Amino acid sequence: MFSNYQYHTNYGLKVEFDPLLEAIGELPDYFVLQHWQAHPRFYRHFAYFEYKKGVGKYQTLPHGRVIIQAIPQTLQINERIHRTVPTAVLYYPNSVLVKGDNFWRLENA
């Protein structure tokens, strides 16, 4: 359904957001998914999938550089059915990431 939303990290880990997007159902014009990268060890960050009007962008941001000003919902899919990662995220509907000088803000759109 959303086959454009597969990404390979710098470490070869494939992340797949299609099952999570299908679980959301009707997608708002703007939203952010946040998850903790389990790999690679010693270089872990929170990663963000940002969706703006049909275009998805995946990026990792350093710890302590994101100010969260939106309220998330938890979203988890059954990992016995879905073999993709991530299987659990914080879902920020109607939200965007805004880049500042030394930080990012995750805020309502």
Q: What is the pLDDT of residues 19-29, one digit of tens each?
A: 999 999 999 99
pLDDT score at 105? 96
- Comparing C-alpha atoms, which of 55, 53, 59, 52 is closest to residue 15? 59
Model pTM score: 0.87
pLDDT at 18 over 80: yes
* In-domain check, residue 69: yes
pLDDT at 106: 97
Domain-located, residue 48: yes
Determine, yes or no, domain membership for 1: no
Q: What is the pLDDT of residue 61?
A: 87
The first and second tokens of residue 78, run together, are: 């059954």
- The pLDDT of residue 60 is 86
Q: Would 49 be classed as within a structural domain?
A: yes
Give the range of the structural domain holding residue 21, as residue numbers without chain letter. Answer: 6-108
Q: Rounded to an integer, what distance in angstroms lies between the CA atom of residue 31 and that of residue 33?
A: 7
Structural domain count of the chain? 1
* 95 within domain boundaries: yes
Q: Model confidence at 1, in pLDDT bands (50, 70, 90)?
A: very low
